[in-house]
Structure 1
């Protein structure tokens, strides 16, 4: 996951309407057997659970950035791997600069692929992250951090998630250089 300041100032342009957001549920004009219905229910439950984990990931991340530390948040419950370590590194850097955040980004998230039957269930998501209402400020003065005028405010982010035990975790978040 790219750091907050870098992600907010570096992301770029494009359109994410390639139609690949459909989950891999078999479709047919013939009546589906009961096992297909159960499979569709499993897919829907997994999709809902991974989307909720991503929302919770962001809710906890916003708390961490607002105070400059993941301590006292449940961020590690929803993040692992690169998503966890890069956020922790970013928070250390921002803390050293005296920077925290106010507000929160908004999201328009789509599950692109979902494989709940794998040994380690996984999912890929795409998010149109809108940072309009997420501001970086200097902790002591409350003054806004100057950001490049050319930075993207709304940009595409690719997300990898895995299910560890009963919990979906966000393992990688990659901002792309394209607007949404």
Structure 2
């Protein structure tokens, strides 16, 4: 027969064991919350809260610019104006020598435009004249159709020939321009993109009877253009 005194030690031992087990459970839970080894290794298949972004490949400004139809058109406009300016740089060399030899005009003009220029240079050589001075330009692309076949642009220019002089190579004398010819006149050019994606001038026409005096003058004081209305045909090439 077990007395009440004999039962007490057994109950006391069970109570102590229960306290020890409860303490161990609490210790295990507390260790998880403080970032133990289990926290350092996320469960397989569950992404970590902080991950490194994969390196990005740099994108050039040109690629961003031409990624839309509008961007492609702006790029084409810039290319057309560049070719127009380079064409005139070479064209001025030809006029100063009354010959296209030694120039890079074939790079910027197609055979039709170059043929017309060479006819003009032949006339100058026959008349024994050359050009001196400089021409100023205010070119702009008036229309452009990048999706056409071939892609085509129209350039309108206000040419300033106030310091562009015709000289007689025999006498060295300056030949005055025709009476009534404006010093600033309108010109147009047709530019097409051919094989290889290269733009070339296919046609150039100067209307020396049509003035474009309203083209923006440059202020001597500030070196900036003074805003004013543009005359029809003063848009650039």
The answer to whether 1:143 aligns with 2:173 is yes
- Deviating more after overlay: 54-63 vs 169-178: 169-178
Higher strand share: 1
The answer to whether 1:170 aligns with 2:170 is no
The answer to whether 1:39 aligns with 2:79 is no
Within a 5 Å distance, the mapping from 1:7-46 to structure 2 comes to 38-46=68-76
Query: Which blocks of at least 5 consecutive residues in structure 2 are unaligned?
Result: 1-63, 213-237
Larger Cα-atom Rg = 2
Q: Deviation at 1:81?
A: 4.4
Partner of 1:122: 152
What's the TM-score once normalised by structure 1's chain length?
0.75
Q: How many residues align?
A: 147
The answer to whether 1:86 aligns with 2:116 is yes
The 1:36–1:172 alpha-carbon spacing in structure 2 relative to 1, beyond 3 Å, is closer
SS in 2 for 1:113: strand
Alpha carbons 2:187, 2:205 under 8 Å: kept: yes
The answer to whether 1:66 aligns with 2:96 is yes
Distance 2:66 2:123 in 1: 49
| Larger RCO, structure (CA 8 Å, separation 6 or more) | 1
Distance 1:81 1:52 in 2: 19
Distance 1:157 1:167 in 2: 22
Distance 2:112 2:210 in 1: 21
Distance 1:89 1:36 in 2: 39
Partner of 1:157: 187
Distance 1:167 1:138 in 2: 37
Distance 1:35 1:154 in 2: 35
What's the TM-score once normalised by structure 2's chain length?
0.58
Alpha carbons 2:65, 2:71 under 8 Å: kept: no
The 1:145–1:36 alpha-carbon spacing in structure 2 relative to 1, beyond 3 Å, is closer
Partner of 1:5: none
Higher helix share: 2
Alpha carbons 1:81, 1:172 under 8 Å: kept: no
Q: Deviation at 1:96?
A: 1.0
SS in 2 for 1:131: strand
Partner of 1:9: none
**1:125-159 deviations in whole A, cap 9, x for unaligned?**
11111111211112243211232231121111121
CA RMSD across the alignment: 1.9
Query: Which blocks of at least 5 consecutive residues in structure 1 are unaligned?
Result: 1-33
Partner of 1:76: 106
